[in-house]
Amino acid sequence: MGILAQHVPSIEQLKPGLVEIIEEAGGSKQFFLSGGFATVQPNSVLSINAVEGYALEDFSADAVRNQISEAQKIAGGSGSEQDKAEANIELEVLESLQAALK
Amino acid sequence: MLSRAARPALRAGSAATIRPATATIPTLQSANYATLREIEGRLKSIKNIQKITKTMKIVASTKLTKAQRAMTESRSYGQTSQTVFNEAETKALEGENKKILLVICSSDKGLCGGVHSGLSRAARRMLNEEGAGNYEIVVIGDKSKAQMSRSNPKDVVLSFNAIGKDVPSFSDAQAIADQICLLPNEYSQVKIMYNQFDNAQSYHPVVIEAYDEEAITQSPNFTAFEIDDEVLANMREYSLANSLYWALAEGHAVEISARRNAMDNATKNAGDMIDKFTILYNRTRQAVITGELVEIITGATASEDM
């Protein structure tokens, strides 16, 4: 989804993924968000409200890989339903992060 | 030479003079010494109290910068999620039988001036003005819980503690929002009450409002937004969590700064008391010495005359 000036006011839920901000001076910044909401206000202001977000270059691919295997262990293990659900969510976030890192 | 010569005479003389009055003088003397010792003890304990309050003030001061930073950050989150509702001019639906949920954000610890009682008082005033029957209450923090369960024990449906020990995190707010969503009743509106930070010296209780889905969809300008219906419920929960996070962080900052002020005052008061007691102590000590001197001299002169 690309948002430019004068976008129709809208509210969108964000999946875990990459947000790229193209600055006026040229150049762009990439952030990985773990999910949240993006709202375009009628006065064409976009606000992205995310639970967690960090610049993409701050992530280490190795740490992501380790956490994926850990989350997989919990998801496939014999924890409670809630633990499994949490691990599955974690896995989803981590996998999209891994995809973004490549 | 005179003193040495006087001493045996003094002993004999004083012993002679005192003996008839033994019943009164020792008690007077011991009373003097006792007050002296009492004053000394109080002085010591006040000095210790001052040390404690001073340390608590320093701790609060160091925590304050951190808390204030969290507050400004959380405020931007809360306000962003709130702008949607402002733009849409969302208002609570009236005339339904749904209750309003009041969330009071205080904390577990006292010694911070009137932070908690101010909040409870504002909540009570609101309940009295708008009829307590329409409200159910969620309390965060033991202090306000104790106060609210005294005045409105039936309306308190849920309470949390151990939040606000450190700077509140978003996951704290999320957990609370989750629990609130799990409550069996449906509410037309959620009001979050917290202390707003005016400046380092002052604060006042305010309310942020969060709405239910119906109120959001029926707000006058909401049609301007493009939105999927299934997203709405998520958005409501998310904005509730955001508002809660905002309220918690700001309430925390207020509490810390109020504690700093309270401890500052306590330290000053202790200092005043120490000054007073030191003067009293010295004066009493002087009086005791003077009294002894008078005795010595009277004894000496009495024995000289003989």
This model of the complex carries an ipTM of 0.77
Chain B contact set for A47 (CB, 8 A):
80, 83
Give chain B positions within 8 Å (CB) of A8.
226
- Chain B residues near residue A41 by CB distance under 8 angstroms: 83-84, 87
Helix (H, G, I), strand (E, B) or coil at A52: coil
Taking CA–CA distances from A38, the nearest residue in chain B reads B81
Sort B103 into a burial class: Cβ within 10 Å, 0-12 / 13-18 / 19+: buried
- Residue with tokens 């003077």, as numbered in its chain: B290
- The answer to whether A68 and A98 are in contact (CB under 8 A) is yes
| Residue B22 per-residue DSSP state | T
* A11 with B225: Cβ contact below 8 A: yes
Burial environment of residue B136 by CB neighbours within 10 A (0 to 12, 13 to 18, 19 or more): buried
The full set of domain ranges for chain B reads: 64-260
A9 contact residues in B (CB cutoff 8 A): 87, 224-226
pLDDT surpassing 50 at residue A31 = yes
**CA nearest to B231 within chain A:** A13
Output the pTM of the full model.
Answer: 0.79
Q: Which helix (H) or strand (E) holds A94?
A: helix A81-101
How high is the pLDDT of residue B10?
A: 41
| B60/B250 Cα distance (integer angstroms) | 15
Q: Is B87 on the interface with A (CB under 8 A)?
A: yes
Cα→Cα distances A34→A14, A91, B80, B240, Å = 8, 11, 18, 18
Contact yes or no for A41 and B87 at CB 8 A: yes
Residue A55's beta-bridge partner residues? A31
Distance from CA of B231 to the nearest CA of A (A): 6
Nearest of B153, B152, B250, B146 to residue B193 by alpha carbon: B250
Architecture of domain B64-260: 3-Layer(aba) Sandwich (3.40)
Task: List the structure tokens of B93.
Answer: 């639906």
> What's the one-letter identity of residue B138?
V
Closest alpha carbon within chain A to B84 = A41
B265 shares contact with chain A (CB less than 8 Å)? no
Distance between A95 CA and the closest CA of chain B, angstroms: 22
Quick count: other Cβ atoms within 10 Å of Cβ B157?
A: 15
Q: Which residues of chain B have pLDDT under 70?
A: 1-34, 94-96, 306
> Quick check: A44 contacting B, CB < 8 Å?
no
**Secondary structure (3-state) at A82:** helix
For the stretch B22-53, what's the b/e string if a residue is b when 16 or more beta carbons lie within 10 angstroms of its beta carbon? eeeeeeeeeebeeebeebeeebeebeebbeeb
* Chain-centroid distance, C-alpha A45: 21
Amino acid present at A59: F
Interatomic CA distance for residues B49 and B217, integer angstroms:
57
| Chain A CB within 8 Å of residue B231 CB | yes
CA atoms within 13 A on the CB side of A57: 3
Q: Do B235 and A11 touch (CB under 8 A)?
A: yes
Name which of B87, B226, B235 is nearest A37 (Cβ-Cβ).
B235
Of B221, B227, B242, the CB nearest to A11: B227
CA distance B262 to chain A (A): 35
Taking an 8 Å cut-off on Cβ atoms, the answer to whether A13 and B81 are in contact is no
Which residue has tokens 């809630």? Answer: A82
